[in-house]
Amino acid sequence: MHFTKKTVLEKRSNFIKKLQSKKLLRFPGAYNPLCAKLIAEIGFDGVYISGGVMSNDLGLPDIGLTSLEQVSYRASQITRVTDLPTIVDADTGFDSCAKTISTFEDKGLAGCHIEDQIPEKRCGHLDNKELISKEEMIKKIKQSVEARKDKNFLIIVRTDANTVEGIDKTLDRIKAYEDAGADMIFPEAMKNENEFEKVRKVSKCYLLANMTEFGKSKLLDKSQLENLGYNLVIYPVTTQRLAMQNVENGLKSIFKDGHQNNILDKMQTRKRLYELVEYEKYNTPGKKITDFSTEGHE
């Protein structure tokens, strides 16, 4: 029970309408459902679920070790807590692109992206990536399109070719992927405005920009991306980085000082947490155990 109002079909159709407005949509990454609720409350356009974040959350590197079952289960938990559209990283499509699309569609996602790396993939901002052939990727895209039941479920195709084959071959791949049926193109590891612009000039599709920190791409702001003609921006690992840095600093403080009194101002309060999980909406009239108010809590 999360007090959401929109059906899955409504979330997807509203997402497509927003994309058609040609305004830049902003999708921060959510590393858990509570984070997704915060993204919605602040007013962002949607939620992104990163495969790298999912791997990191399990204490693993982002090298294709997670399964469709693991990712889809966590994605379903995150997408159901808000009325925002949620898109998810499907890595290389797992064992079957058709099964992957069907699974994420059934779990209520608004879309997913698959990439053209080999199954033993690497983080998109690391060197020494290996790609499958353009022809192999075209087959994956066609399988994905054929498997889709709801035309508004977005099939996003990511290419990692820029750091492997260069920008010219990246552009060739993008045109071929669009011809194969991609709804949106995700050009990974673009270095600067010039490369982002080159993609826009050849692409007829919606475009996704990845603004991940400490990577190969220059961090561009909302206005710059809008002027370049991009439709959606993700901040995939930002919330996890913020959380883990603060957790690390807090734990070090407790270890050193023997108490947490010096870091209370770094914490979300009990009152704020209860507001975010909408505690009071779970009250049942006449039932004392559910009679709860956030008043009186700090």
User: Each residue of 26-45: pLDDT tens digit?
Assistant: 999 999 999 999 999 999 99
- Scanning the structure block, which residue is given the tokens 């690391």? 126
Distance from C-alpha of 278 to C-alpha of 38, rounded to nearest angstrom:
11
Mean pLDDT of 207-236: 97
Q: 47-85: per-residue pLDDT in tens?
A: 999 999 999 999 999 999 999 999 999 999 999 999 999
Looking at per-residue confidence, does 122 or 240 come out higher?
A: 240
**Per residue in 149-161, pLDDT tens?**
999 999 999 999 9
Cβ atoms of 186 and 158 closer than 8 Å: yes
The residues assigned a catalytic role are 48, 62, 89, 91, 113, 115, 123, 158, 188, 210
Q: Which of 107-121, 164-178, 234-248, 268-282 has the lowest mean pLDDT?
A: 268-282
State the Cα–Cα distance between residues 189 and 178, nearest whole angstrom.
Answer: 19
- Helix ranges (H only) for 60-209 are 68-79, 97-106, 134-147, 162-165, 167-180, 193-202
Cα separation, 240 vs 237, whole angstroms: 5
Distance CA 38, CA 15 (A): 19
For 154, which DSSP code? E
pLDDT computed for residue 152 by the predictor? 98
Tokens in use for 72?
A: 């889809």
- Give mean pLDDT, residues 161-175: 97
**Do residues 216 and 189 make contact, with C-beta atoms less than 8 angstroms apart?**
yes
- CA–CA distance, 196 with 185 (Å, rounded to integer): 12
**According to the model, what pLDDT value does residue 279 have?**
86
Q: Is the pLDDT of residue 228 over 70?
A: yes
Q: Dig out the tokens for 45 from the structure.
A: 């356009």
Output the pTM of the full model: 0.95
Q: What is the C-alpha to C-alpha distance for residues 168 and 200, in angstroms, rounded to an integer?
A: 13
pLDDT in tens, 249-293: 999 999 999 999 999 999 999 999 999 999 888 887 777 666 667
Number of neighbours of residue 170 by Cβ within 10 angstroms: 23
116: left (phi over 0), alpha (psi -120 to 50) or beta: alpha
User: What pLDDT does 282 receive?
Assistant: 86
Residue 140 confidence (pLDDT) above 80:
yes
Judge whether 25 and 19 are in contact, CB under 8 Å.
yes
Contact predicate 241/219, CB 8 Å:
no
Q: Return the pLDDT at 283.
A: 80
Instruction: Please tell me the predicted confidence (pLDDT) of residue 1.
Output: 67
Q: Which of 107-111, 231-235, 282-286 has the lowest mean pLDDT?
A: 282-286
Can you tell me whether residue 118 is helix, strand or coil?
A: coil
pLDDT of residue 296: 66
What is the residue-wise DSSP string for 20-81? Answer: HTTPPEEEEB-SSHHHHHHHHHHT-S-EEE-HHHHHHHTT--SSS-S-HHHHHHHHHHHHTT
Using DSSP's 3-state secondary structure scheme, residue 98 falls into helix
The full set of domains in the chain, from first to last, is: 8-236 (3.20.20.60), 244-290 (no CATH)
